[in-house]
Amino acid sequence: MQKRLKQKLQQGGSFLVIAEVTAGLHFNFTPIERFLKGFAEQGYQAIPKGFDFVSISVPQNPGGMANIEPVDVLGRIKLKNLLNGLDFLPHISCKDHNTDALVSMLNGFRSADVESLLVLTGDKPIRSKGVFELEALGLLRVIKHLNSHIFASARTDRLDKAYRYFPGAAVSPFKYTEPSQMQQYFKMEKKIASGARFLITQLGWDWKKSQELFSYTRENNIDVPIIGYVYMLANNKILERMHAVDVTGCFVSDRLLAKVKSETLDDHIDRAAQQVAMYKSMGAAGVDIGGVHDFDTFTKILNRAAEIGPDWEKYKDNLYWPLEGGWYLYDDDGKKVPLSKPRKKLKHRVFNGFHSMLFDRKHCGFHVFRAVMKFLGTKKGKGFFYKAFFCNEKLFKYVLFNCAECGDCYLPENFSICTIGDCEKGMDNAPCGDSTADGRCGNNLDIMCVGEKIYNCAAAEGNIDVLRRRINPSRNPALEHTASILNYLFEKDHTMTHPFISIGESVHASIPNTGQIMRKLADLGPDAYEKDSPQLDYIKALIQSQAADGADYIAVNVDAFGETDPQTAVDIMKQYVKLVRKFSDGVPVCVDSSNDDVLIAGLKEWYDTDEPVKPPMLNSVKTYTMHNVLPLKKHFDFVFIGLLMSEDKPTGPGGSHSIDELFGLAKQLFDEATKKYGFAPHEIFLDSTVFPLAIDMPMQPDVPGYTYRAFETMKKIKSDSKMKDVHCSLGVSNCVRDLPGRKIGVMRAYVHTAMKYGCDAGIVNPRHKLYTGEPAPELMELVSAYAKMDGSTEKCNDAMALMSNFCRNTKK
Ligand code: SF4
């Protein structure tokens, strides 16, 4: 039967064993084949009781040298039928593949039904140029994003069968300086936050350091399974290279070198076995055994480990080869040592001073600087003044920061340190695991690891907690070799804000498939929203995928639950608000309901946490309900969508609201919200409601269309001197109801047209990114015709002719 690492790790209960198998030089498959043939001959009965041999792991171009790709290894293994029920754990690294290539590789693994992956930044290539467009965190986030999309679009009746990647990541407790070690622990936490489901340690021979890792994870309530990497040291070239700091990230002390050189093969096996027993006793989920080339030696290690059992402490001396004077997070009594507080360096002070004077958007220096640069025409990214500025920027930033012209500058986020120019891998999120025992870069011993520098600057600023949490998004490769300062000034870099606020619409109980899952989830009982289930995973995927697609808010609507008992909707909203808070990566919730009790309960629940959260959104508030909801502003910060509808009978043409009436409702909401309840204009979103284009046909002459009225109302609101800073929002999906096709295209054209009238927010599927790209001209023409349908026969005929053409062509 096929074993699954994922399943075993999720179930727990057995001590897992993975064998790391590597091809020989010159793409030689023989060592892998020999190992697996040995296993085929001896079978599982050669593995001692208490050890569950579950998988082989295959490094990708280890040591930065070209070798057989893991997917190719898998192909050959399958061809020769050598897996014998074992799982296959490929390493996937960012060193020699760009983002697209990694996504393609992931797709290959999906087709081959490989779920578990070990995600690594990877070794710096020896002969080729390293890519590192992503590093481990970036790749984990790509995988998380893929997983959410795969799951959110899976068949809802087969969720338990839906495929998902199960990524793991590396962690090294074997660093001997405070900055390097703490950065490793922080990065481990960031890897988990980015989606790592298990961890495999770096190799190292210091039981105190191994124990430190388990103490740290316990102290910080990290329950992700940890697999100890056990590398069998032998008297060979690798040993010499590790000792000579020629294998990055590994530390072999002089004493350990001498000891291993004096030993026999049995001694080497014994040390590896002692380490296996040690990890088992410390609470690891399993071990990954490397440096072993034949199945006999592999089973000897396991059998000896079984003999040692819990008595590993007898061999502590043989597992303790530290750096003399090396740093440990806990003292011998298990007490945490105080962390250092270095002084700010002059360069760091100069950077901070400059930054706050010229680049802080709250500072007038920023606005003057920006205005001058705009006046000189540098925003276009070309011309004399642009080139002159870029030339000076390059010189200045190169001399001061080793700037490598990425164009998407993270100096402020990295406490004045450049992770491109100052790092051999040019990583978005430093460090990797390659630093030496004394904190130098393992790929260039002449420099300190950039992770050390960042840590020291963060500690000097008293901002270690910020460093601990901060995950930099991947840089925009299109900005490479452009002026980063101008990109920042004109919001072309990662600080860019979008011209359209997206409110993700997918968690809505009235959407048939989603509603069905939401009901099934509710039926699972009181702990349904905490206990793993395919239904909960589906909701998680909806939340995560919208957050990853750039939603500014994640809307939740559970009104369908309140049809018979309104209290049910209140209770369920609270659960969904918690889920958004937990899984949205900081994107705030939009509590969407026509029931004020649900809105109020959702708002209160959002703030029922000690964690800092962004202000949520409430949708919707009307003139006749605002006095129930808006007073809460005094106690809870929030923004709201005000719906332009009233209980009074409309008096406009055709028996619906006129533009003046809609504007009057907007003004009423605005005045009350700002004057009575203390809302700033930008905290108010006004929604003039979207009518489906397919039925937006006035039945009487001289009656303008609904789309016309909605758009003209927005225009009027945005032209009002007091209301110009409010947001105009629309429930965009409504516009395509009953259309025969091209719905995304029509919505894109609708948003682009609406934006011309002042719309800057919408309830949408953020994945569609409706505000970007060029809408099809014929669809723009169609929507524009509706936007202009002012009641005249001519405009009405234009719109109808375009609509019938559209329907005819689309049906074809
Ligand atoms: S500077 Fe640090 S993070 Fe960069 S490659 Fe070297 S060891 Fe890795």
Indicate whether residue 434 lines ligand 1 (CB < 6 A): yes
The upper half-sphere exposure of residue 239, i.e. CA atoms within 13 Å in the direction of its Cβ, equals 17
Q: Is 424 in the pocket of ligand 1 (CB under 6 A)?
A: yes
Q: Is the CB of 425 under 6 A from ligand 1?
A: yes
Is-contact 787 757, C-beta < 8 A? yes
123 CB less than 6 Å from ligand 1?
Answer: no
Expressed in angstroms and rounded, the spacing between residue 718 Cα and the centre of ligand 1 is 51
* The pair of three-digit structure tokens given for residue 765, joined into one six-digit string: 């599927």
C-beta contacts of 302-307 below 8 A and 24+ residues apart: 302/17, 302/47, 302/48, 302/51, 302/53, 302/273, 302/276, 303/48, 303/273, 304/269, 304/270, 304/273, 305/48, 305/51, 305/273, 305/274, 305/276, 305/277, 305/280, 306/48, 306/49, 306/50, 306/51, 307/273
**pLDDT grade, residue 40 (50/70/90)?**
very high
Q: How confident is the model at residue 647 (pLDDT cuts 50, 70, 90)?
A: confident
User: 361 in the Ramachandran plot: left (φ > 0), alpha (ψ -120 to 50) or beta?
Assistant: alpha
Judge if the beta carbon of residue 442 lies within 6 A of ligand 1.
yes
* Digit-coded pLDDT (tens) for 555-579: 999 999 998 899 999 999 999 999 9
What does the alpha-carbon distance between residue 225 and residue 706 come to, in Å, rounded to a whole number? 57
How much distance in Å is there from the Cα of 417 to the middle of ligand 1? 13
**Ligand 1 centroid distance, CA of 140 (Å):** 19
Residue closest to 98 by CA, chosen among 128, 135, 68, 67? 135
Evaluate whether 522 touches 539 at the Cβ level (below 8 Å).
no
Q: What is the mean pLDDT of residues 531-548?
A: 94
Query: How close is the Cα of 539 to the center of ligand 1, in Å?
Result: 38
**Using CA atoms, how far apart are residues 172 and 121, in angstroms rounded to an integer?**
13
Q: What is the pLDDT of residue 383?
A: 95
pLDDT of residue 63: 85
DSSP code, position 355 = I
CA of 436 to the centre of ligand 1 (A): 10
pLDDT surpassing 80 at residue 163: yes
Nearest atom in ligand 1 to the alpha carbon of residue 440 is 7
Quick check: bond before 620 cis, omega within 30?
Answer: yes
Output the residue whose Cα is nearest ligand 1's atom 2: 449
| Amino acid 510: pLDDT | 95
> Is this prediction's pTM over 0.85?
yes
Task: Give yes or no for residue 451 CB within 6 A of ligand 1.
Answer: yes
Measured over the CA atoms of residue 235, residue 237, residue 243 and residue 249, the dihedral's sign is: negative
Structure tokens at 564: 């018979």
| pLDDT given for residue 508 in this prediction | 97
Give DSSP secondary structure letters for 635-667. TS--EEEEE---SSPP-SGGGS--HHHHHHHHH
Q: Is the CB of 418 under 6 A from ligand 1?
A: no
Distance 441 CA to ligand 1 centre (A): 5
- Check residue 11 and give its pLDDT: 94
Tens digits of residue pLDDT in 441-454: 999 999 999 999 99
Cβ burial, residue 201 (10 Å; 0-12/13-18/19+) = buried
Q: In what helix (H) or strand (E) does residue 503 lie, and over which residues does it extend?
A: strand 501-508
What are residue 286's phi and psi, to 5 degrees?
A: 170, -170
pLDDT band for position 654 (cuts 50, 70, 90): confident
> Across residues 484-496, what is the average pLDDT?
94
Residue among 31, 42, 118, 8 at smallest CA distance from 77: 31
Q: What's the pLDDT at 308? A: 98
Model confidence over 371-419: pLDDT tens digits?
Answer: 999 999 999 999 999 999 999 999 999 999 999 999 999 999 999 999 9
Residue 621 pairs with which residues in a beta bridge?
642
Rounded to an integer, the average pLDDT of 523-545 is: 94
CB 746 within 8 A of CB 736: yes
pLDDT band for 271, please (50, 70, 90 cuts): very high
Triad 775, 554, 152: Cα angle to 5°: 75
431 touches ligand 1 (CB under 6 Å): yes
What's the 265 CA to ligand 1 centre distance in angstroms? Answer: 34
The ligand 1 atom nearest the CA atom of 442: 7
Max alpha carbon distance in the chain (Å)?
A: 101
The letter for the amino acid at 87 is D
* CA distances from residue 424 to 77, 409, 478 in whole angstroms, order as listed: 35, 17, 21
Residue-wise pLDDT for 59-86, tens only, equals 999 888 899 999 999 999 999 999 999 9
Query: What percentage of the chain carries pLDDT values higher than 70?
Result: 100
* Residue 226: strand pairing partners: 199
Count CA within 13 A, CB hemisphere, residue 269: 18
Report the residue among 418, 443, 453 best suited for mutation to probe ligand 1: largest number of ligand atoms under 8 A from its CB: 443
Query: The tokens of 721 are what?
Result: 């001197």
CA of residue 425 to ligand 1 center, whole Å: 6
Ligand 1 proximity of 138 Cβ (cutoff 6 Å): no
The closest-lying atom of ligand 1 relative to the alpha carbon of residue 450 is 1
pLDDT band at 158 (very low <50, low <70, confident <90, very high): confident
**What is the helix (H) or strand (E) element at residue 119, kind and residue range?**
strand 116-120
**443 in contact with ligand 1, CB cutoff 6 A:** yes
Residue pLDDT, tens place only, 93-122: 999 999 999 999 999 999 999 999 999 999
Judge whether 62 and 291 are in contact, CB under 8 Å. Answer: no
Q: Which of 176, 435, 440, 444 is the pocket-test mutation for ligand 1 (most atoms within 8 Å of CB)?
A: 435
The overall average pLDDT reported for the chain is 95
CA angle 328, 15, 20 (to 5 degrees): 75
- List Cβ<8 Å contacts ≥24 apart for 363-367: 366/489
Show the tokens assigned to 99.
């983002």
Closest residue CA from atom 4 of ligand 1: 423
Nearest to 421 by CA among 440, 445, 405, 441: 405
Q: Ligand 1 pocket test: which of 418, 441, 445, 448 has the largest number of ligand atoms within 8 Å of its C-beta?
A: 441
State in Å: Cα 94 to ligand 1 middle. 14
449 in contact with ligand 1, CB cutoff 6 A: yes
Q: What is the pLDDT of residues 348-373, one digit of tens each?
A: 999 999 899 899 988 899 999 999 99
Alpha-helical runs (H) found in 685-776: 706-719, 743-756
Ligand 1 atom 6: the closest Cα is on which residue?
441
Angle formed by the axes of helices 706-719 and 777-787, to 10°? 80
Q: Which atom of ligand 1 is nearest to the CA of 452?
A: 2
Residues contacting residue 167 through CB under 8 Å, at least 6 positions apart: 116, 117, 118, 119, 140, 143, 195, 196, 197
Query: How many other CB atoms sit within 10 Å of the CB of residue 314?
Result: 10
- Cα of 336 vs centre of ligand 1, distance in Å, is 27
- φ/ψ (deg, to 5) at 373: -65, -35
Give the model's pLDDT for residue 193.
95
Q: Does the beta carbon of 489 lie inside 6 Å of ligand 1?
A: no
Q: How far is the CA of 37 from the centre of ligand 1 (A)?
A: 39
Residue 652 has pLDDT above 80, yes or no: no
How far apart, in whole angstroms, are the C-alpha atoms of residue 606 and residue 617?
Answer: 10
Query: Ligand 1 mean position to 715 CA, how many Å?
Result: 53
- Cα–ligand 1 centroid distance for 411 (angstroms): 16
pLDDT at 723: 96
Mutate to test the pocket of ligand 1, among 427, 445, 448, 455 (most ligand atoms within 8 A of CB): 427
Q: Which ligand 1 atom sits nearest the alpha carbon of residue 430?
A: 3
Phi first, then psi: give them for residue 590, nearest 5 degrees.
-115, 105
Q: With a 6 A CB cut-off, is 435 part of the ligand 1 pocket?
A: yes
**Unique residue bearing structure tokens 């705030």:** 588
Å from CA of 474 to ligand 1 middle = 17
Task: Using the mean position of ligand 1's atoms as its centre, give its distance from the Cα of residue 249 in Å.
Answer: 10
User: Alpha carbon 62 to chain centroid distance?
Assistant: 26
What is the pLDDT at residue 773? Answer: 87
**How far apart are the CA of 423 and the centre of ligand 1, in A?**
5
Q: Which residues of 755-774 are buried (b: 16+ CB within 10 A; e: fewer)?
A: bebbbbbbbbbbbbbbbeee
For 337, counting Cβ atoms within 10 Å of its Cβ (0-12 exposed, 13-18 middle, 19+ buried), the class is exposed
Q: Are 607 and 635 in contact (CB under 8 A)?
A: no
Residue 327: the pLDDT is 98
Per-residue pLDDT of 684-728, as tens digits, reads: 999 999 999 999 988 788 889 999 999 999 999 999 999 999 999
Q: Which ligand 1 atom is nearest residue 435's CA?
A: 7
- Residue 749: CA count within 13 A, CB half-sphere: 21
Atom 8 in ligand 1: residue holding the nearest Cα: 432
* Whether pLDDT at 543 is above 80: yes
Q: How far is the CA of 293 from the centre of ligand 1 (A)?
A: 30
- Asked if residue 605 lies in contact with residue 588, where contact means CB atoms within 8 angstroms, the answer is no
Within 10 angstroms of residue 462's Cβ, the number of other Cβ atoms is 10
pLDDT at 362: 87
pLDDT of residue 154: 87
In this predicted structure, what is the pLDDT of residue 64? Answer: 84
Q: Rounded to whole angstroms, how far apart are CA atoms 243 and 232?
A: 15
Q: Which amino acid belongs to residue 64?
A: G
766 lines ligand 1 (CB under 6 A): no
Instruction: Give the pairing of strands 52-58 and 440-441.
Output: unpaired
For 538, phi then psi, to 5°, come to -65, -45
